């Protein structure tokens, strides 16, 4: 991976040549990614990048843009990592620290079913039992040796109440992912960045052992070996440079090529939060965010699923729709985004209106995409696959007006 950034801004002619090659091959080379990434602040470069990415998206996905109607279940906000940008993680003793009991999980699932949600998004801190004796004792009192073991029970409860869980629990071992597989439609881990430099003192991941890029890439590979539909992504603006952004996208692509299990790639912008060490870091502009969504599309190819969260760039949805995304991710009508609570979800009706006003069509999906659900049965535990098919229409999208029934 490049430690420095050697490329100058390309001319429009150079940009158009690189983009034509990317469209012809369905791939973006490292050189092209770095060269184009260097020029995204220049509208004369950025606009052709967006146009090429939108053309790539249309070739692979047509006019559809998908969304998953979900409930967000933050099983615990205790975490052993102290990322420089995070407000989700709490310390024991903080009044906001919370670990959900299974009755609360069941209540959330019931409420989500009534609202027509299908996906139960489990998101939680990484290995808090390794850092906090009180949490170890809490787990032991309930017969569990680890948070991941307790998570299996939470996912089971949600699944048996008719939801399809998607789990983002930080670093998991192959054994832990295997235990979760019978209750999860998909799992995920944002790669965030391949920059080991950001583990250094004063950087975003200095006090975050689970953000070691090699550890995160290893879990991507292990999920592939276990045949688990897997979500990954790039976190923009935490101190990484252009070369490191491109390297992150290509590392995700390599995992997808090797195992065929990467179901979607999220391009998520960092926004500074006032109580964090990175509160003074300037966020990327919407124009640059759209440019990196476009480069993600060109890097991953026309058939990939590229996602940008609509609540993190609410004034730029139309710009993002021009950038080659085909998915808005999970949008909840019943819970906030606990990772970014200051950023409210758009109303689904408004998201539909703005998507359609941009000439595209909003469709509702499950926590897995049609191409995997219908053509990759090997990616699922049989009971999860059967449950997902009951909730899908003939094309693999969420059935319109589906009544979610408990299993």
Average pLDDT (285-302) is 98
Q: What pLDDT does 2 receive?
A: 41
Say how many domains are in the chain.
2
Residue with tokens 């991953």: 300
- Token duo for residue 263: 């179901």
Distances, alpha carbon 93 to alpha carbons 136, 144, 208, 378, in Å = 14, 21, 20, 44
Distances, alpha carbon 29 to alpha carbons 36, 158, 279, in Å = 10, 42, 34
Residue 3 has pLDDT above 90, yes or no: no
Same domain, 28 and 167: no
Same domain, 220 and 350: yes
What mean pLDDT, rounded, does the chain reach? 96
Determine, yes or no, domain membership for 98.
yes
Same domain, 261 and 160: yes
Same domain, 29 and 106: no
Domain end marker among 20, 35, 55: 55
Residues 183/384, Cβ–Cβ less than 8 Å: yes
Same domain, 44 and 126: no
Determine, yes or no, domain membership for 407.
no
Determine, yes or no, domain membership for 155.
yes
Same domain, 88 and 36: no
Q: What pLDDT does 259 receive?
A: 98
pLDDT single digits (tens) 317-330:
999 999 999 999 99
Residue 407 has pLDDT above 70, yes or no: no
Average pLDDT (22-49) is 97
Burial 230-248 (b: 16+ CB within 10 A, else e): bbbbbbbbbbbbbbbbbbb
Q: What pLDDT does 8 receive?
A: 83
Determine, yes or no, domain membership for 38.
yes
What CATH number corresponds to the domain at position 131? Answer: 3.20.20.70
Determine, yes or no, domain membership for 404.
no
pLDDT range class, residue 154, cuts 50, 70, 90: very high
Same domain, 20 and 88: no
**Distance separating alpha carbons of residues 34 and 24, to the nearest angstrom:** 19
Same domain, 39 and 117: no
Same domain, 17 and 126: no
Determine, yes or no, domain membership for 396.
no
Determine, yes or no, domain membership for 44.
yes
**Distance separating alpha carbons of residues 169 and 125, to the nearest angstrom:** 7
Same domain, 164 and 74: yes
Same domain, 240 and 359: yes
Same domain, 240 and 295: yes
**Distance separating alpha carbons of residues 37 and 289, to the nearest angstrom:** 11
Residue 37 belongs to domain spanning: 12-55
Nearest to 85 by CA among 284, 347, 229: 284
Q: Supply the pTM of this predicted model.
A: 0.95
Determine, yes or no, domain membership for 5.
no
Residue 308 has pLDDT above 70, yes or no: yes
Q: How many CB atoms lie within 10 A of CB 110?
A: 15
pLDDT range class, residue 404, cuts 50, 70, 90: very low
């Amino acid at each position: 991976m490049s430690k420095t950034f050697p490329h100058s801004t390309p001319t429009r002619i150079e940009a158009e040549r690189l983009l034509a090659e990317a469209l012809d091959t369905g791939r973006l080379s490292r050189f092209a990614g770095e060269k184009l990434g260097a020029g995204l602040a220049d509208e004369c470069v950025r606009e052709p990048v967006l146009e090429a990415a939108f053309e790539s998206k249309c070739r692979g996905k047509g006019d559809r843009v998908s969304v998953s109607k979900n409930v967000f279940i933050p099983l615990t906000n205790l975490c052993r990592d102290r990322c420089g940008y995070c407000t989700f993680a709490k310390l024991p003793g903080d009044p906001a620290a919370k670990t959900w009991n299974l009755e609360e999980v069941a209540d959330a699932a019931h409420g989500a079913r009534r609202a027509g949600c299908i996906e139960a998004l489990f998101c939680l801190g990484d290995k808090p039992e390794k850092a906090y004796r009180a949490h170890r004792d809490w787990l032991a009192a309930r017969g569990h040796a680890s948070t991941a073991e307790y998570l299996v029970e939470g996912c089971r409860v949600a699944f048996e109440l008719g939801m399809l869980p998607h789990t983002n629990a930080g670093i998991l071992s192959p054994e832990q992912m295997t235990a979760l597989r019978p209750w999860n439609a998909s799992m995920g881990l944002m790669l965030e960045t391949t920059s080991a430099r950001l583990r250094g003192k004063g950087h975003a991941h200095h006090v975050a052992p689970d953000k070691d890029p090699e550890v995160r890439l290893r879990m991507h590979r292990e999920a592939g070996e276990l045949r688990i539909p897997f979500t990954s992504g790039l976190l923009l603006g935490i101190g990484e440079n252009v070369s490191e952004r491109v390297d992150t996208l290509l590392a995700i692509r390599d995992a997808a090529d090797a195992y065929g299990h990467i179901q979607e790639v999220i391009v998520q912008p960092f926004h500074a939060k006032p109580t964090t060490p990175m509160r003074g870091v300037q966020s990327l502009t919407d124009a640059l965010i759209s440019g990196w969504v476009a480069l993600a599309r060109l890097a991953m190819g026309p058939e990939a699923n590229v996602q940008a969260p609509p609540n993190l760039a609410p004034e730029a949805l139309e710009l993002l729709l021009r950038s080659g995304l085909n998915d808005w991710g999970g949008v909840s009508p019943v819970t906030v985004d606990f990772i970014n609570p200051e950023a409210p979800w758009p109303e689904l009706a408004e998201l539909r209106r703005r998507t359609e006003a941009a000439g595209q069509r909003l469709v509702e999906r499950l926590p897995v995409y049609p191409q995997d659900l219908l053509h990759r049965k090997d990616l699922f535990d049989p009971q999860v696959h059967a449950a997902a098919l009951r909730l899908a229409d003939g094309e693999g999208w969420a059935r319109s007006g589906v009544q979610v029934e408990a299993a």
